[in-house]
Structure formats: C-alpha cells, structure tokens
Chains A and B, each alone.
Chain A
Amino acid sequence: MPRGGLTRGRLSALVIPYGWLALFFLAPLALVLKISLSKSIIAQPPYEPAFGASDGLAGWFEKARAFSVAAYRGLGEDPLYLESYLSSLAIAGVSTLFALLIAYPLALAIARSDPRRRSLLIALAVAPFWTSFLIRVYAWIAILKDEGFLNHALMAIGLIDAPLTIYATNVAVVIGIVYSYLPFVVLPIYNSLEKQDAALREAAADLGAGPLATFWKVTLPLSLPGVIAGALLMFIPAVGEFVIPDLLGGSDTIMIGRTMWNDFFENRDWPAASAGAIVLLILLVGPIIWFERRQTKGQGA
C-alpha cells in the first residue's frame, strides 16, 4: 500500500465523511455567517436576502448587495449581548478555576495510589461523564433549593439558621458547571501525572527539597500540559453552556448560549443570534488554535 497521497480507493473512503461534514457542519457554519450579514424581517425564513436557485448568478450578486453588518452593529449596541459575553467568560473562568482546584488533588491522589487500583479509580472518576448530563444537572436542583438537601444538612448541624439562597443564582451555575465538567479536567491531568517518572521526585528529595518544594518545582510544572488541556476542554464548551444556566441559574443569570437561544426561539431574530454565534466562535477558536500549535510543537520536541 502506498504510504502517502490519495489512491482511488482512499479517495472514495475520504469523500464520504468529508462530504457528510461539508453538508452538516461546514455549510451550516457558512450559512450562519451569511445570515449574520442579513437583515431581520417578519417572514419565513425571517431574514433577507434569501438566495434561491432560480435567481441565477446575477440575481445572487444583486441580492448580495443587501448584505449589511447591521446585526453586528446591533450586538455592539445591545447591552444584553455585551453583558452575556462578559458574564459567560467570567462564569466559565471561575468554574474552570474551581474545577482545577478539585480535579488536581483528585488526579494526584489517584496517580499516587496503588498501581493495581489506579485504573479502577480513574474509571470511577470518569464514569459520571457517561451518565446523562441533563440528569446530573437536575440532581443538583434538589440539593441546592431553599428547602433542599444542602440547606437541610447545614441547618441540622447548626451551621446556619436560615436557608441559604443558592438555587437560581450564579453560584448554583458555577457549582453545576464544575460538577458536570469535572471528569474532563481530571482525565488529562491524571494522564500527565501518571506518566511522570518517580525518579525525578526522588532526585529532588535527595537534593534536599521538601515535599512542598518538590511539588512546586517538579510535579506541578511537569503536569502543566495536562492542566492546560483540561482547562481548555472545560472552558470552551462551558462558555456556550445553555442547559446549566437555564436550569440552575436565575432570571439574572445571563450567558451567551441562553441569550442566543432566546433570540432564536422567542424573539425570532435570526440575524442577531447568528452574529452572536459568529462572535462567540471567533472568541473560542483563538484558544483552540493556540492549543493546537502548542500540541504540535510538543510532539515535534
């Protein structure tokens, strides 16, 4: 079999998945871009210009002149969108930070466990990912409600007198995001910790470093690629999260996924929602490309 290049057989094997992605991923994204440059009207579909096959090339050109950046200008002027972006980034950022604070010790504890138990422990840590996301978020409603398990427990041990209001606030959203994405963060950190050579830590100890110094100077720096991978795997989808802010957040929880959803289904302003999606994509693609570059560099070294 030839090692490189496309033979006829390979081409036919490539065309199927490529064509599928072109039709259901690339073309739809291009369409989002196009509609973001359109104007909102009350019709079906609720935007113009709409291109039809009957228009011909000349007709398309004529219609393309109707493109405008009005939707983008609208985003800039709409305080709701600006606030949505900022608060999404903030909520996702805070959640990622807390997730790292929980995931790192957990990954470390698993990596330092008896080798015979390690694979079972990491499987247990990742298993919740396989269970329904919606159900796991739903489970937190009963815990965080005013008359929920957490308040019952805290009042029973006398820590608080009156129930804390957590449900329907941003705090609940952060808890929900941390919980839902934790397996995504634990796994890459564990992978980078597990690969580390124990001899490096012994060498540091022999040279007089205490356990803390060894951690800061050896273990942590060596595990940074895993930390960054875990943080990005969580942060990027968390920014656009819809289900968690919708179920655990309050009416003042504004996140971009929810704003776009509302613009789409309730306000029927498709150009605004599309422009919102394009801006969000640009915000998120930056870190992906940066990470990809870093990965390739790491492989080359």
Chain B
Amino acid sequence: MTSARLPRLATLAFGFAFLYAPIALLVIYSFNASKLVTVWAGFSTRWYASLFSNAALIASAKISLQVAALSAIIATFNGTLAAFALERFGAFRTRGVFVGAIYAPLVIPEVILGLSLLLIFVALGVDRGFWTIVAGHATFTMCFAAVVIRARLAGMDRSLEEAAMDLGAGPVMTFARVVLPQLAPALVSAWMLAFILSLDDLVIASFTSGPGSTTLPMRIYSQVRLGVTPEINAMSSLLLAAVGLALFISAIAGRRHES
C-alpha cells in the first residue's frame, strides 16, 4: 500500500522517538561536564570516573549481580520443571492451583508479592538478607521462565522423542540427548529474562532485603529520591550498555541456531 506509506513512516518515527528519546538523552547527558543534568557544558567522562570510586555503589552492583545470577539459575530449573508439568503431564489434582500460582505472579503488583514474602520470612523467623532476596526473586522470575520454556515445549516436534524411545533410549537418555538440545535456546532466554528481571527489581528486593544487602536498584532509588545526578546517568548508561550487549549476543546466537 504505497498510498499509506507516509503516515506509516510518520507513525514509526513518532513511536520509536517516544520509546528511545528518553534513553538517548540519558546516555548523552552522562557525558556532560556540568553537574546539571539538563544543561550541556561540554564532553567529559568525569562521572564515569567518580562512579568507579563510589565503593557503596560497586558493592551494591556486586550483590545485585550475584542475586540475579543465582536466582536466575533457580528460576530456570524450577521453570523448566513447571513448564513440563503444564505442557506434558496432562490433568492432575490441583492443577488449577498450580496454573494459577504460575500465572498470577506475572501480573500481581510487586508490592503485594514483596509484602507477602516479608511477612512469611518474619513469621518463620528468617533473618532477611542476601538469601531472602534470592528466594524472592527466584519465585517471581520462575513464572516468567516457565512461560518462555512452555512456549518452546509446545512448539517442539514430539516425534523425535518418540523415535528415540522406540530406538531404546530411556527417559533420562531421551531428555539429555533429544529434548535438552532442542530446549537449550529457550533455557538461555529464560535464564536471561530471569537475570534481567532480578537485576532490575526494586520493590521485592526492598521488602526482602536486610542490613548489608542493598541491591543496585535500591541504591539508585535512594539516590534518585535525593535528586538527579550525572553519576546516576553514567551508572544507567553502563547498565543499558550491558543489557544491549547481552541482547545483541543472544540475537546473533538465536539467528545462528535458526539457520
């Protein structure tokens, strides 16, 4: 439809400008020489330098990366089992409860999830800290992981598994040699999704953390409440670059897998 070409291009331009302009401004002004975030005063990398001498921020970044990596492993493991249960096990008693428990955390406000986790940790007498954040993150991210892996399972050709079984492979062998290789891309995306969701979470971490376990979003949040600073811009730009790089790598890996 060539007649609709102009409005279509205008819509695309407007839509993508809306989506990307705020991010672009944020990155550009992380290189601002001035302390003011909105007035350009020349190019400088001083905020990146000051970032690397901010020990509290680096400690929080380390905690966040550890929490994200660990909780994403648990989430991918649990999510894989849950995906098989949903996709392959047919009907079982209390399946409805299980389905609900998988899908509800995807939409329930994080404040409710965080609050309920804090209450259970208090009731059980668990000291809040690193491990309670891991548990909290693994819980809500496993639901996202289950959805991603389930979608892949649903699209998989089962005749390959049946052929392997017919040729005498046991269930474990079939899983390791036939199912797992086909599932691998979904496992990687599920882990990445869980990792990024955990790295980004402020609300659940705030409810489940204790003294000495301040995550990066919690640190950024408390700084943002005091005001906008170029240092936060620099921190944000680094995070954006890391996520961008990860997306780029996974896109290339995905393309190679398809071909």
Contacts and interface: CB of A to CB of B under 8 A. Distances in A.
A18 interface: yes
Interface stretch (A56-64, A119-127, A216-224): A119-127
Contacts of A21: 98, 101-102, 139, 142
Contacts of B103: 288, 292
B196 interface: yes
A10 B120 CA distance: 29
Interface string B36-48: 0110000000000
B89 A105 contact: no
A24 B85 contact: no
Q: How many of chain B's residues touch chain A, expressed as a range? A: 35 or more
Interface in A227-264: 232-233, 236-237, 239-243, 247, 257, 260-261, 264
B171 A9 contact: yes
B30 to A, nearest CB: 11
B55 interface: no
A243 B135 CA distance: 22
A155 interface: no
Interface string B79-97: 1011011000111100001
B112 A281 contact: yes
Contacts of A50: 123
A13 B120 contact: no
What does DSSP make chain B's interface, helix, strand, loop or mixed?
helix
A149 interface: yes
A172 interface: no
Contacts of B176: none
Nearest to B203: A242
B91 A4 contact: yes
B247 A127 contact: yes
Nearest to B120: A28
Contact of B104 (A24, A145, A243, A288): A288
A206 B251 CA distance: 41
A293 B2 CA distance: 41
Contacts of A136: 22-23
Contact of B139 (A24, A133, A182): A24
Contacts of B84: 13
Nearest to A14: B85
Nearest to B235: A135
Contact of B110 (A121, A183, A242): A242
B109 interface: yes
B167 interface: no
Contacts of B239: 131-132, 135
A110 B12 contact: yes
B101 A26 contact: yes
Contact of B11 (A105, A239, A261, A264): A105
Q: How many of chain A's residues touch chain B, expressed as a range? A: 35 or more
Contacts of B78: 16-17, 20
A20 B98 contact: no
Contacts of B102: 21
Contacts of A9: 171
Contacts of A247: 221, 224-225
Most chain-B Cβ atoms within 10 A of its Cβ — which of A35, A142, A147, A285?
A: A142
Interface in B5-31: 8-9, 11-12, 15-16, 18-20, 22-23, 25-26, 29
B70 interface: no
A130 B115 contact: no
Interface in A27-64: 27-29, 31-32, 35, 45, 50
A259 to B, nearest CB: 10
B220 A277 contact: no
Contacts of B135: 24
B165 interface: yes
A106 interface: yes
A109 B15 contact: yes
Given A16-B78, A21-B139, A29 B89 contact: no
A204 interface: no
Contact of B115 (A182, A241, A273): A273
A183 B16 CA distance: 11
Nearest to B97: A26
A125 B16 contact: yes
Given A22-B101, A109-B11, A242-B111, 6 more contacts: A50-B123, A132-B240, A135-B220, A143-B22, A145-B38, A240-B110
6 contacts: A14-B81, A125-B16, A131-B240, A132-B217, A182-B18, A277-B115
